[in-house]
Structure 1
Amino acid sequence: MGMLITKKPEKILIVRLSAIGDVVHVLPALRLLRSHFPESKISWLVEDKASDILTDYPDIDDVIVFPRKKWQGEILKTKRTLNILSDILSFYKKLRKEQYDLVIDFQGNLKSGIMNLITGSANRIGFGRGYCKEFNYLSTQYQSYPPGKKMHRIKKNLLLLKDLGIENKFQRPELPVSKAEEEYISKFINTNINPSLPVIIVHPGTSKFGSYKQWPTQNYSLLADMILETYKANMIFTWGPDEFDVVKEIVKNMKHKAIPACETKTIRQLIELIRRARLFIGGDTGPLHIASILDIPVVGIYGPKDPEIYGPYNDKAIVIKKDVSCSPCKKRTCSDPICMTSILPEDVFRGVSKLMG
């Protein structure tokens, strides 16, 4: 990259717009950035659907929310079109007015590239050609070229800071929650579980965008029964938007008792619930990466994505993956996701047994 910072930047902007797991993967880099520039104002540009995790975050001075979901939903409404266009213009003007001394693009695609250019900053850092998408490298003046492409996202993000003179040493970040969020989860836990037994959290769902990564629901029922036949534990199934029916079906088809989680209206409520777990089980989703960064033992069920790049990042994790010729892949849909359906409940149970001891 060859960039030299001759003076400490007063204003720094991090660009990582989405999604929840990807935002979590940048938090260790943020921790290093704050340690190296304790007096700088650090802002983070993020989309509305992932912004909650950054609210009141101790290493961030300002969270700039890009309301993509809101704008997409209202731009075609005749009565709202002019208002939305005005909001978009105001947003872009505000971003440029900040005059950031340093912009760091951890996303590396067209969308983040546009944001880079809007800032007008003279120091825009991102990944080089071959390490980003959609010609993103054209939006930055300084590019980083990691030593290999098969590298975990957290490590890749840390390397982006190397030429700023920041040592690439992983520091586990905090995921703070409010007292109200802690009390909300405590009320659910105290009402529904046996306090003398460990909590196992299972998150069976995926986003609609990532539905091709979902393990069959019947397998979760069979796995949960295997676990409860062997270990005395409280088993809680967490769920997100439009996933409650999936959890109800899983619990209904079980022989043993499991508990659907309370509704978590914010990501931080979910964080606090996951924090109570002795073990987390799930696919390649945001909740899994939250559990991983909290240093909770994780059993990850992986199919289309490469766990060396997108897997859990702690030494208490076990990844269950089948060796099939088409995996990993870059597909967004699949009519025959054999990489997921070939994973049996017995395969995942063996991983659970290793971590439960």
Structure 2
Amino acid sequence: MNTRVRHVFVIPRDKKGLNKIFAYFNLFKRLFNERYDLLAHFSVDWRGAILARLLHVDISVSRLTDRRGAFWHKSFDFLAPTLDDERPMAEQDVDLLRSANLYKKSVAPAYELNISSLQKTKVNVWLKKHDIHAKNKLVVIHASSRWKFKEIPVSTWAQIIDELHSKKIDIVISGSHDDLKTNEMIFNLCESKPLLTTGFSLEDTAALYKQANLVLTIDSMSTHFASALKTPVISIFGPTNEKIWGPWKVKNSVISMSSIDDPVFTCRPCGQDGCEGSKISQCLVQLNSRMILSEVYNFLKF
């Protein structure tokens, strides 16, 4: 959904044995058959150094890191500063281009996605079919993550949805096929049933977000998706650092527990997978639904 992206190549993580070797061979063969001017390597994965040495690009750039040695660092023409905990990742990613003298501005650009009119029409028809019209405010909720320690309890979501429905606000819960189990648990707890997306593609979801008055989400890709679509977004953060991973260049609010809300949570953002490795984050479990609702009403001017 970005007109400047020609190809997306995917690392074959799901394959094993010889199948994985053949998949890597075919991936690298395709890369070698292309002609690239720049290799910008955002992570510190060893494969980036191999590609930088073999692809013969004009310019290669990555980051300084304590995790790799001299061979890795000498594989690139330029090196950006190491990652820090205070700046948005959008800025730190653009540091690569700054270090290679390819971007001069002091502020990174906004994300950009493009949705076709056909996609918009398809989603509008789907909304009208389910009796959702422009007369009511539309809030799209994304509640699930592959990392369960980033989620708030399904009971909290049910409380939020029932309260929003009482204000005549339409609710759609979005997510992939893998998110459906969590979404159905929320649905079953709600007295006023929200609408669930099933079988939606990424493009369908983008068109839905574009139609929404607000995206209400946990710390997940949906935060950045809404940012790219310029849809106002409220993101709920737990262990993760919102200074790095919060919304970017869009009307937004970040909700999180802090020492102001409860002196117990001076520990966040801890960057851990739940409290003491439990996969459950108390800073999200203890988050009051009223705190979230208050921010939603503020955004929707209720």
TM-score > 0.5, shorter chain as reference: yes
1:297 aligns with 2:232: yes
Q: CA-to-partner distance for each residue in 1:295-327, whole Å, 9 max, x for gaps?
A: 221111100100000011135211111122332
Change (3 A) 1:138 1:190: farther
Instruction: Please name the residue that 2:165 is paired with.
Output: 228
Q: Does residue 1:349 correspond to 2:293, yes or no? A: yes
Show structure 1 runs of 4+ deviating over 6 A: none
1:189-338 to structure 2, matched below 5 A, reads 189-192=127-130, 193-207=132-146, 210-229=147-166, 231-264=167-200, 266-323=201-258, 324-332=265-273, 334-335=277-278, 336-338=280-282
Q: Any conservation in 2 of the 1:127–1:144 contact (CA below 8 Å)? A: yes
Offset of 1:185 from its aligned partner?
A: 1.5
Q: Secondary structure of the equivalent of 1:103?
A: strand
Q: TM (normalized to structure 2)?
A: 0.84
Q: CA deviation at 1:128?
A: 1.6
Q: For the Cα contact (< 8 Å) 2:212–2:231, is it kept in 1?
A: yes
1:179 CA displacement: 4.6
Aligned-partner Cα distance in 2 for 1:243–1:346: 25
Aligned partner letter, 1:268? E
- For residue 216 of structure 1, report the CA deviation from its aligned partner: 0.9
CA gap of 1:84–1:341, structure 2 versus 1, over 3 A, is closer
Deviation per residue, 1:243-293 (Å, 9 max, x gap): 2232222122122242112421x2122111111110111111111211122
Aligned to 1:188: 126
How far does residue 148 in structure 1 lie from its aligned partner after superposition? Answer: 5.1
- Cα RMSD (Å) of the superposition? 2.5
Structure 1's unaligned 5+ residue stretches are 1-52
Structure 2 residues without counterparts, runs of 5 or longer: 259-264
- The percent of aligned pairs where both chains have the same amino acid is 17
Counterpart-to-counterpart distance in 1, 2:30 and 2:120: 34
> 1:258 & 1:200 partners in 2: Cα distance?
10
> Compared with structure 1, are the counterparts of its residues 228 and 138 closer, same or farther at alpha carbon in structure 2 (3 Å cutoff)?
farther
User: 1:299 corresponds to which letter in structure 2?
Assistant: I
Corresponding residue of 2:45: 109
Would the alpha carbon gap of residues 304 and 113 (structure 1) be closer, same or farther in structure 2, given more than 3 Å must change?
A: farther
Specify the code of the residue in structure 2 equivalent to 1:68: P
Match of 1:13 in 2: none
Give the CA deviation at 1:347.
1.5
- Displacement of 1:97 in angstroms is 4.3
